[in-house]
Amino acid sequence: MIRLGVPRLPAIHWPSVRGRGRADAGPLALVAAVVVVVTLLAGAAPPLLRAAADDAVQDAARTAGRNADVTAHARWPYDDAPGGGRARTPHLAADIEDFRDQAVGALDPGLRAVLGPPVAMVTSPTLKVTDGSLLRTFQLAYLLDERGAYSDTQVSWIAGGPPAPAVPSDDASVTAPYDGPPWPVQVGLSEADAAALDLGPGDRIPLADQYRRVKNVVVSGIFRATDSNDPTWRLAPWLLQPAAGADGVGTTRLGGLLSPDSLPDARLAFDQDELDRAVRFTPDPDALGSDTSEAIAAALVTLKATSGSSNVGDTTLKWETQLDLVLRDVQTRINAASAQASVLLIGVLAGAVLILLLAADLLARRRAQALTAARQRGAGLPDLAAELLIESAAVTVAAAAAGLALARMATPGVSLWWTIPVALAAIAAGPGLGTLLAARSTRDVRAPANRTARRWLRQTAQLRRAALEAAIVVTAVAALVALHQRGILPATPGGATGAWSTQDSGAALPSGAPALGILAGALVLLRLLPAATTFALRRALRSRRPLAALGTARAAATSTHALPLLVMVASVALATYALTFDATARRGLADGAWRTVGADARLDANPAAGIDMNAVGRSIAATPGVRQAVAAQVTDNARVTTESTLVTPRLVIVDAAAFQRLLASIPVPDAPELARLAPTGQDDVPALVRSGDRSLLPGMRLQLPRGDDEPALRLTAVGTAPAVGDTADVVIVDASALTAAGVPAVPNTVWVTGPGAAQAVAAHAEGATAVVRADVLHERRTAPLTAGLLRLAWMSAAALAALGLLGLTLGAAAGAPERWLTLSRLRTLGLRLREARWVAAGELLPPVAVAAIAGPLLGVLLAHLTFGPLALRLLIGSPTDPAVMVAWWGAGLLALTLLAAVTVVVPIESALRRRRRLSELLRAGGG
């Protein structure tokens, strides 16, 4: 009967474990240091990115302003009286309060938790001030928040009093005939609006609606806001002061505040559905976060999808908001930043794994004799593997724990997943290589005497290596193809990118494309290096310089050592890639700041402020340090009609020649087509157009409305306009051509260039807003996601540069015993110490030179191949991807540092080994 053997547990020889640990404390400490640093970076980066993502969501909500508000609208119930006419509803203010409570009750609890207090609003249609000015409008508004109506609680009356009812407030039998005279309604005016209208208590405001029907609106009093910074006022800022451009080009909107007593009269002063009632919820930015964005956006989409239709004649709630779109946009940026961070982190992990393999190879070489002796004394391979595994696990676990502890001290949390590759490599590399070396040194397989058999074994080994290298190259090509096909963002089932898509299981391969591509390039260089050194050796043997021949011979003999070259090339290439990432992002941010501001500085004024911007522009131009100052009228959301649709571009009315000179003096694309805007004497005014959706194209005929009583101004698109600001749709018209057509320009913007531009606009900023390009650039660079990615790029480049230098040091240390044994024996034959150092430098220089020259080029090549799919435009907030900006200074510094390190390593090696005895040098097998 055959009895199966029971597997035994490895027999651990603890004195050997302790002895090897003490003998090799230096290399083990080096491995521990690498694990600590890389674990710290990999464990801290994801939590910091999550914190930056939360800050980005909050900043997006703040920046969106009113677009992020959640608004509920509802039609009014009909107020027809039984006997004809419309009934006055004295309790209308209480109905508005009930309407507000109804909107609050319709919200999802999770959504309600991130929204601020509700504010109920009743607003009239926009009316025209008929005092001779066609460019002033007026709107009545009633505001109610949880503190009450604003005419009662948040204002103080400095003249007159709050609006009173037109009839006794408790009389519910009052009706207004359908065809009766304008129903009277009282409103309060702010100090600024009253001064602009030159009206006081008891005066009637000359108003008419779009059908020229006169309205009977009387001023009850003049108020002053208790707190003009109260968030509720931002829902109707024209109640406090005139708002320019609120109703189109050159318009100024003013407002009258209604009270609970005058609100029923305002209901009768307009037709059934002319007053708009709404409840607005402003999101609380501090309550938002990247982890809750998806649920909030889903709740908003459901809320809008289930709300009533705008054409349904009932009183159901109809919800409107762009907060879900804001959250989707910022989540897309977060996804892009996370993917870009993963690319940088994978590069650092790849360099760390390679350096750990090199350190394990050095450790195995140092222990070759001890491991061989242990095997010869009867130690089994499982026993040796277990001993080495215990040692490496103890060092790695302690180092990883220290790195994670440091990361936890610096960040709100740690990421364990990113530390696993480094920990596994540190644990497995040393025992694996040590066990393999012990097995090879004590195996009893002899080399066959048959030459064919020896050639077959050699070719088999070469084929295995070629298969491994081919697999890496194929994987790198597949990663690059996947990156270009799917991009870096998560993919939805339909094939497009989505903000909260969970179809991201295949993101690891595209994210590793740069690292895999660089590794594949390093393998190609590894294949070419032996041929290059062999060619150099042949040339050196023909020369009369024996030192060159000796150094080249040593370089050719060690050119097949793969790990040192792989570590140096990969580290330098990945560091160059990270520096190029940083330089490209910073260049894109700088270009975006130029595009946003349009000059070194810009001065924007409210047309209602009455500032003569032409005079301000001339004064700024005379300021020392100012090269150019160009005044223009810039109107956002101007109403321009084409033959088929209405568009709302940014309308720029400017001196075309001066604007062309300004653009030529700043780093933005020139605009030679501005010369086409000169007056032609024809009926149509020439214009340049720019559109993101091709709704505006050269050759189109456009119309610019001017007012109800005047015909629209006809324009002809004669070319493509340059970008003006961050808007996609732009129309540019020459100021003199427009003046010749009977429409004088009223500048509200001055673009200023020159070193003194910031000081000049600051000195003239009274009543206007100064925008400085340097401030815009600083704000964008310090944005949470952008600043986090740029810091990570720098930290990655620094870590990879250090790994490259460490790779040079470890590679030199691995070959130092054999190298200096040979050189020391040559010294016994007359080779001087200085000459021995030159020979050692000649051995080390070829792989270092390859890494210093080919590494940066490989990093730049991968940057050009991968930056497009990485969607850097989302990081910098640009409509297009920035051009690749190579950090040649950084690449050159890396190359010079690597080459200079050779001049440091060689003298140190020489000093450590110059006192070896002659008997040690000549002893067979000595080292």
DSSP assignment, residue 497? B
Element (H, E) at 650: strand 650-654
Q: What is the average pLDDT across 428-439? A: 85
User: Over the stretch 778-819, which tens digit does the pLDDT of each residue have?
Assistant: 999 988 889 999 999 999 999 999 999 988 888 877 776 766
User: Over the stretch 440-482, which tens digit does the pLDDT of each residue have?
Assistant: 777 766 667 778 877 887 888 788 888 888 888 898 899 899 8
User: Over the stretch 489-533, which tens digit does the pLDDT of each residue have?
Assistant: 765 444 444 566 544 545 678 888 999 999 999 888 888 877 777
The phi, psi pair for 401, rounded to 5°, reads -65, -40
Q: What is the average pLDDT across 250-271? A: 89
155 closest CA partner among 189, 197, 129: 189
Q: Of residues 5 and 46, which shows the higher confidence score?
A: 46
Tokens 């620094």 map to which residue? Answer: 798
Tokens 């340097």 map to which residue? Answer: 774
User: Over the stretch 273-317, which tens digit does the pLDDT of each residue have?
Assistant: 889 999 999 999 999 988 888 889 989 988 888 876 555 456 788
Instruction: List, in order, residues 6 or more apart from 844 with CB less than 8 Å away.
Output: 808, 812, 902, 905, 906
The phi, psi pair for 277, rounded to 5°, reads -115, 135
Per the CB < 8 A criterion, the answer to whether 724 and 604 are in contact is no
Q: What is the average pLDDT across 126-140? A: 83
Strand duo 70-74 + 768-772: pairing: unpaired
The identity of residue 371, as a single letter, is L
Q: Of residues 13 and 653, which shows the higher confidence score?
A: 653
SS3 684: coil
User: Over the stretch 636-679, which tens digit does the pLDDT of each residue have?
Assistant: 888 888 887 888 888 898 888 899 999 988 888 878 888 888 77
Element (H, E) at 255: strand 252-257
When pLDDT is cut at 50, 70 and 90, the band that residue 540 belongs to is low
Q: What is the 3-state secondary structure (H, E, C) of 610-641?
A: CCCHHHHHHHHHCCCCCCEEEEEEEECCCCEE
Model pLDDT, residue 25: 83
Model pLDDT, residue 495: 41
Q: How many C-beta atoms surround the C-beta of residue 536 within 10 A?
A: 19
Largest CA-CA distance found in the chain, in angstroms, rounded: 128
Model pLDDT, residue 743: 79
Model pLDDT, residue 825: 63
Listing DSSP states for 107-152 in one string gives S-HHHHTTEEEEEEEEEPPPEEE-SS-TTEEEEEEEEEETTEEHHH
859 pLDDT higher than 90: yes
Q: Percent of the chain scored above 70 by pLDDT?
A: 86
Structure tokens at 442: 């004590």
Return the sign of the alpha-carbon dihedral for residues 422, 424, 430, 436. Answer: negative
Q: Percent of the chain scored above 90 by pLDDT?
A: 25
Cα angle, residue 428 at apex, residues 426 and 429 outer, rounded to 5° = 70
Cα angle, residue 536 at apex, residues 534 and 538 outer, rounded to 5° = 70
Instruction: List, in order, residues 6 or more apart from 134 with CB less than 8 Å away.
Output: 128, 707, 709
Model pLDDT, residue 814: 73
d(CA 304, CA 111): 13
Point out the least confidently predicted range of 99-103, 146-150, 399-403, 667-671: 667-671
908 pLDDT higher than 80: no
Structure tokens at 479: 């990663």
Model pLDDT, residue 350: 92
Sheet holding 730-734, edge to edge: 646-647, 640-641, 701-704, 713-720, 685-690, 730-734, 650-654, 628-635, 749-753, 601-605, 768-772
Listing DSSP states for 329-367 in one string gives HHHHHHHHHHHHHHHHHHHHHHHHHHHHHHHHHHHHHHT
Per-chain mean pLDDT for the chain? 83
User: Over the stretch 31-57, which tens digit does the pLDDT of each residue have?
Assistant: 889 999 999 998 888 898 888 889 999
User: Over the stretch 148-180, which tens digit does the pLDDT of each residue have?
Assistant: 888 888 899 999 999 999 887 666 678 888 888
When pLDDT is cut at 50, 70 and 90, the band that residue 3 belongs to is low
Model pLDDT, residue 249: 56
The phi, psi pair for 483, rounded to 5°, reads -65, -40
Model pLDDT, residue 609: 63
Integer angstrom CA distances of residue 328 from 282, 296, 814: 18, 10, 53
Element (H, E) at 685: strand 685-690
Model pLDDT, residue 216: 93
When pLDDT is cut at 50, 70 and 90, the band that residue 245 belongs to is low
Q: Which stretch, 211-215, 312-316, 557-561, has highest mean pLDDT?
A: 211-215
Element (H, E) at 838: helix 833-866
User: Over the stretch 574-617, which tens digit does the pLDDT of each residue have?
Assistant: 999 999 999 999 999 999 899 889 899 999 887 666 678 888 88
Q: Of residues 244 and 311, which shows the higher confidence score?
A: 244
The identity of residue 73, as a single letter, is H
User: Over the stretch 617-626, which tens digit does the pLDDT of each residue have?
Assistant: 889 988 999 9
Burial class (CB in 10 A: 0-12, 13-18, 19+), 446: exposed
Per the CB < 8 A criterion, the answer to whether 717 and 696 are in contact is yes
Tokens 């299981």 map to which residue? Answer: 505
Q: What is the average pLDDT across 747-757? A: 91
d(CA 676, CA 238): 39
Structure tokens at 371: 């491991």
